[in-house]
């Protein structure tokens, strides 16, 4: 790690013993590469104060449930007050991670998130920061210039308590392509961590998405509608929440693993919850 010893600093992380921050003036070419990122070391973002206005604005756009859009109505919900949508929490985390880490390394994007957990609601006035900790690393057999990392991302409040976390996967460019021997391994079929349909196959489309728990049936499915992603909407969302080149710039995206401008995965997720809530509210 000596080659990037000057790339990490702890000054802005006083009072937070979880890890180090990534400095502006980083390694070769201004970017850290896969080889520079150390397993087990947590990189910390700057703090951010959450406001009621931003919670309501996001809620109206993507998750218009009472606890996310109306302070008075929220008092009557299970949360007991206004709180950020879980999807808002996720995009806050994504923006903090981009600013602190991903836009300072040779990021090639993510093939997906394995798991998201929301432990505590994020409320107005909360001061939060993100911890980004690599759990595992490997080089892709099929692409020896690409490193893959398994990453734990945590949203931490001022009391050092974890409000939410993800287990995610990250592709990062190698500074030097690895020597990978042998034939590339065949792709293994992916198995879901938890199979919702293990007791029953998916059933016919249901027409009432807002029933009580007892009325739900394993295997029922819903058509939540359609959405067409425009270039402008992809870029606008990315500017706010996931400002990586392949979501912002067509030329940069063409040269990336994506091959063209693509929506942030969180943009896709936010449209899912918007359509789900819309279907429930119109039922």
**pTM for the complete prediction?**
0.82
- pLDDT in the model for residue 15: 46
The Cα–Cα gap between 154 and 96 comes to 11
Non-local (6+) Cβ contacts of 10 within 8 A are 20, 21
pLDDT of residue 96: 97
Structure tokens, 252: 């940069």
Q: Whole-angstrom Cα distance, residue 60 to residue 58?
A: 5
Average pLDDT along the chain, 283 residues, taken 10 residues at a time: 34 46 46 91 95 98 96 94 98 96 91 96 98 94 91 97 97 83 54 52 58 81 89 97 95 89 96 92 78
**Please, which contacts does 209-217 make with residues 24 or more away whose CB atoms are closer than 8 Å?**
209/276, 209/279, 209/280, 209/283, 210/279, 210/280, 210/281, 210/283
Whole-number Å distance between alpha carbons of 281 and 283: 6
Q: Residue 168 in 3-state DSSP?
A: strand
Count of alpha carbons within 13 Å of 214, Cβ hemisphere only? Answer: 0
Contacts of 145 (CB under 8 A, 6+ apart): 173, 174, 177, 178
Domains in the chain (CATH in brackets) are 1-180 (3.10.129.10), 199-283 (3.10.129.10)
Which letter does DSSP use for residue 270 in this model?
A: H
Cα–Cα–Cα angle for 42, 44, 45, rounded to 5 degrees: 155
């Amino acid at each position: 790690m000596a080659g990037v010893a000057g790339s990490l600093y702890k000054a802005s992380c006083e009072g937070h013993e979880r890890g180090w921050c990534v400095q502006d003036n980083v390694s070769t070419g201004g970017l850290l590469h896969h080889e520079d990122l150390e397993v087990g070391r947590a990189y910390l973002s700057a703090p951010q104060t959450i406001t009621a206005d931003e919670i309501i604005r996001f809620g109206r756009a993507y998750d218009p449930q009472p606890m996310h859009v109306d302070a008075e109505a929220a008092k009557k919900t299970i949360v007991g007050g206004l709180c950020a949508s879980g999807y808002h929490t996720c995009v806050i985390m994504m923006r903090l991670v981009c600013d602190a880490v991903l836009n300072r390394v040779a990021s090639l994007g993510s093939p997906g998130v394995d798991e998201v957990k929301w432990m505590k609601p994020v409320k107005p006035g909360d001061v939060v920061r993100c911890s980004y900790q690599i759990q595992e690393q490997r080089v892709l057999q099929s692409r020896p210039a690409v490193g893959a990392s398994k990453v734990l991302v945590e949203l931490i409040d001022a009391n050092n308590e974890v409000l939410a976390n993800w287990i995610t996967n990250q592709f990062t460019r190698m500074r030097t392509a690895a020597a990978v021997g042998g034939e590339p391994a065949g792709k293994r079929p992916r198995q879901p961590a938890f199979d919702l349909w293990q007791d029953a196959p998916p059933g016919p489309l249901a027409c009432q998405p807002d029933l009580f728990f007892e009325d739900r049936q394993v295997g029922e499915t819903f058509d939540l509608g359609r959405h067409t992603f425009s270039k402008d909407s992809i870029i606008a969302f990315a500017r706010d929440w996931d400002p990586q080149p392949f979501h912002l710039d067509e030329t940069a995206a063409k040269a990336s693993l994506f091959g063209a401008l693509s929506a942030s995965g969180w943009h896709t997720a936010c449209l899912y919850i918007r359509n789900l809530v819309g279907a429930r509210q119109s039922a």
